[in-house]
Amino acid sequence: MYDLKRTKSTPEASAEYAQFLGDVFDNDQLFTAEYIDWLYRQNPQGPVVGFDAIFEGEVVAHYVTIPVSAKIDGQVEKGLLSLNTATSPEHTGKGLFTKLATATYQAGADEGYKFVVGVANQNSTHGFVKKLGFELVRPLDARIGFMGPYKATKDADFKMHWDEASLQWRLNKPSANYWAEETGYFAKTPYPLTRVFLGSGSSKASNSSFKKAFALFDLEIGLSEEGRSGLSFEIPKALRPSPLNLIFKDLTESRRSLKDKSIRFQAMDFDAF
């Protein structure tokens, strides 16, 4: 028998979740207590919204979203970004993810959040769409090349909204190597001579620990109706570690869709780097 309990947002809980996620994914370098505390507690838009499955007093499954804002058809709305999901190996196949996610979205709707947006890989997209009522908006583009400034000549119907406090928080992700240039924000990648384009912006948000990395190539992951100037090439899906899809679930009675809307969704809008 499993008990479903709301995900906690305390420093002690951050350390416990980091341990759990590190064990499940065998990656304690990514899931540090500092990173989880930053993600779950320090977000100026609000603490984590999620649920845990408890078995014999221990967390055995975990699913969370974090509060975000997006501009939809010209109006800024608060929503949720789908992020970490993990189940202990001995408790898989029991439908825990679906139960945790359903409880999370109901809690989010009750608390006034209007939508859930996320990026799902090829393996998880089916479950989000078939079991949880998400729509598959479209696959994210992945391009590499010599790129110039972002050409934003018109507003998109859907784009994430970053105020100064939220942008400052995002750029202060622990252990990340980010820096700003006139053309936008960038991050170091594990690939030789390659940086990732996080997103455009003219904000004064900064991080004193920024260390600019030399790069010849820009990697861009996301969606844009206009894109950036310069020479770039679409990375074939067969060469990508896992093709990524933008998914969306409306939490209002309108059951809105993004299928026919123009979209601007950039790497900084989800926690890829």
Q: What CATH fold (topology level) applies to the domain 3-138+244-269?
A: Aminopeptidase (3.40.630)
Instruction: Give me the pLDDT at residue 109, please.
Output: 98
Report the C-alpha gap between 14 and 34 in whole angstroms: 8
Tens place of pLDDT per residue across the chain (273 aa) = 899 999 999 999 999 999 999 999 999 899 999 999 999 999 999 999 999 999 999 999 999 999 999 999 999 999 999 999 999 999 999 999 999 999 999 999 999 999 999 999 989 999 999 999 999 999 999 988 887 666 665 689 999 999 999 999 999 999 888 888 877 889 988 888 888 989 886 555 555 455 676 778 888 899 986 666 677 788 887 777 778 999 999 999 999 999 989 999 999 999 877
Instruction: Give me the pLDDT at residue 208, please.
Output: 46
DSSP string, 72-123: ETTEEEEEEEEEEEEE-GGGTTSSHHHHHHHHHHHHHHHTT--EEEEEEETT
| Residue 234, amino acid | E
Helix or strand (DSSP H, E) at 19? helix 11-25
* Residues in CB range of 173: below 8 A, 6 or more apart: 35, 38, 271
Cβ proximity of 81 and 65 under 8 Å: yes
Q: Domains of the chain: which residue ranges?
A: 3-138+244-269, 140-239
pTM, 2 dp: 0.93
